């Protein structure tokens, strides 16, 4: 039995758990190919024109898998904590795909509404495992292994590594420390983000992303806004940005966003205004399926150059 996992959306946040769980159940896991022009083109062909690029990409990854596996795993991410849901694109993902991808009849839809409860997560795993006739003990062992795998993944980030991009612990003595905030399915997809993180590291930057900030630290900034945002990943991005701004731990912030992203209209503006108030350099980089390398490279080089000059000037004044 082969189970396909699209390399998009929830994949980048949770793949160690997902893959380990299915493998420990004794299923063969097939992850869709890394994003390429063919995958983007296939996605653009089916998705509605006004969809954000990550949603278009999801279509392409599903099409890359559906004919070579028994099931394609499509999580409907609703809530993983008590305070927020995911963006409506996540909530409606299985319905969207049924309507847009022709002959997609092997979807394994799983509704994820666990609200910080390990018990609920295990119950969900039980439901999935039952579809494949796996018993309680096998499911429990697979669940524990998946949890362990996810824990290690998170620990790697906290040490300064970026595992989805294969980046090990970064050099702490880099010239510039930069907060790079954005959704994991954009930041860690090197094709669609034009490999922005690796580019920055090659320019001598130490990159800090939202996944490298402990959850309990992010939670401290929950009260910074009068109202919590509705969306889980947006809260993570915004709280990380607040953490960077309030602690002064980075020399500047780059917000990586997708063209057509509804939540980011709000998130981007808030970060921009807060950074301006504290005089912290801030740059927004927006990606869609047409974004070209040259324009992004020029903007990044200019931004890093400006940060280095600013640091040098401040060093002289001290």
Element containing residue 21 per DSSP (H, E):
helix 10-24
Query: According to the binding rule CB under 6 A, does residue 55 interact with ligand SF4?
Result: yes
Kindly state the tokens that stand for 44.
């653009």
| Contact between 55 and 70 (Cβ < 8 Å) | no
> What does the DSSP assignment read for 251-290?
SEEEEEEETT-HHHHHHHHHHHHHHHHTT--EEEEEE-TT
Query: According to the binding rule CB under 6 A, does residue 87 interact with ligand SF4?
Result: yes
Q: Which is nearer to ligand SF4, 19 or 87 (CB)?
A: 87
Query: According to the binding rule CB under 6 A, does residue 72 interact with ligand SF4?
Result: no
Rule CB under 6 A: choose which of 263, 274, 303, 304 binds ligand SF4. Answer: 263
Residue with tokens 């607040």: 242
Q: How far is the CB of 7 from ligand SF4 (least distance, A)?
A: 15
Q: Which is nearer to ligand SF4, 55 or 101 (CB)?
A: 55
Rule CB under 6 A: choose which of 69, 107, 250, 258 binds ligand SF4. Answer: 258
Query: According to the binding rule CB under 6 A, does residue 271 interact with ligand SF4?
Result: no
Rule CB under 6 A: choose which of 89, 134, 177, 199 binds ligand SF4. Answer: 89
Q: Which long-range contacts (CB under 8 A, 24 or more apart) does 303-307 make?
A: 303/252, 303/254, 304/176, 304/178, 304/200, 304/203, 304/204, 304/205, 306/281, 307/176, 307/178, 307/251, 307/252, 307/281
Residue with tokens 């063919």: 38
| Contact between 73 and 86 (Cβ < 8 Å) | no
Cβ atoms < 10 Å from Cβ of 131: 11
Report the alpha-carbon distance of residue 55 to residue 246 in Å, rounded.
33
CB-neighbour burial class of residue 68 (10 A; exposed 0-12, middle 13-18, buried 19+): exposed
Cβ atoms < 10 Å from Cβ of 120: 15
Q: Which is nearer to ligand SF4, 150 or 183 (CB)?
A: 183
Rule CB under 6 A: choose which of 135, 214, 262, 295 binds ligand SF4. Answer: 262
Binding to ligand SF4 (CB under 6 A): which residues in 118-177?
A: none
85 bridge partner residues: 231
Q: Which is nearer to ligand SF4, 52 or 181 (CB)?
A: 52
Size of the site for ligand SF4 (CB under 6 A): 11
Q: Which is nearer to ligand SF4, 57 or 213 (CB)?
A: 57
Query: According to the binding rule CB under 6 A, does residue 12 interact with ligand SF4?
Result: no
Q: How far is the CB of 256 from ligand SF4 (least distance, A)?
A: 10
Distance between alpha carbon 227 and the CA centroid of its chain, in Å? Answer: 23
Rule CB under 6 A: choose which of 11, 17, 153, 183 binds ligand SF4. Answer: 183
DSSP single-letter state for residue 66: T
Q: How far is the CB of 8 from ligand SF4 (least distance, A)?
A: 10
Query: According to the binding rule CB under 6 A, does residue 58 interact with ligand SF4?
Result: no
Rule CB under 6 A: choose which of 46, 251, 264, 274 binds ligand SF4. Answer: 264
Q: How far is the CB of 148 from ligand SF4 (least distance, A)?
A: 28
Report the alpha-carbon distance of residue 286 to residue 212 in Å, rounded.
22
Rule CB under 6 A: choose which of 197, 261, 271, 296 binds ligand SF4. Answer: 261
What residue ranges bind ligand SF4 (CB under 6 A)? 52, 54-55, 87, 89, 183, 258, 261-264
């Amino acid at each position: 039995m082969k189970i396909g996992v699209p390399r998009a959306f929830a994949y980048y946040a949770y793949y160690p758990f997902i893959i380990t769980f299915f493998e420990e159940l004794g299923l063969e896991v097939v992850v869709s190919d890394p994003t390429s022009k063919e995958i983007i083109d296939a996605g653009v062909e089916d998705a509605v024109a006004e969809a954000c690029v990550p949603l278009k990409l999801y279509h392409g990854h599903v099409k890359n898998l559906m004919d070579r596996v028994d099931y394609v795993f499509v999580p409907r991410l609703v809530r993983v904590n008590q305070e927020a849901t995911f963006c409506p694109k996540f909530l409606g993902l299985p319905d969207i795909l049924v309507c847009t991808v022709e002959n997609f009849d092997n979807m394994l839809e799983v509704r994820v509404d666990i609200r910080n409860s390990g018990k609920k997560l295990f119950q969900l795993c039980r439901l999935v495992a039952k579809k494949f006739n796996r018993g309680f003990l096998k499911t429990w062992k697979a669940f524990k292994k998946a949890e362990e795998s996810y824990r290690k993944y998170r620990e790697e980030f906290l040490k300064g590594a970026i595992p989805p991009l294969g980046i090990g612990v970064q050099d702490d003595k880099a010239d510039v420390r930069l907060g790079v905030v954005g959704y994991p399915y954009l930041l860690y997809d090197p094709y669609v983000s034009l490999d922005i993180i690796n580019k920055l590291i090659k320019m001598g930057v130490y990159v800090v992303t939202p996944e490298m900030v402990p959850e309990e630290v992010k939670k401290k900034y929950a009260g910074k806004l009068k109202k919590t945002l509705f969306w889980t990943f947006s809260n993570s991005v915004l709280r990380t940005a607040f953490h960077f701004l309030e602690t002064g731990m980075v020399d500047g912030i780059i917000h990586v966003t997708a063209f057509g992203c509804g939540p980011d209209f709000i998130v981007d503006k808030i970060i921009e205004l807060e950074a301006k108030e504290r005089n912290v350099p801030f740059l927004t980089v927006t990606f869609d399926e047409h974004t070209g390398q040259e324009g992004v490279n020029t903007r990044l080089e200019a931004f890093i150059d400006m940060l280095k000059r600013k640091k040098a000037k401040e060093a002289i004044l001290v």
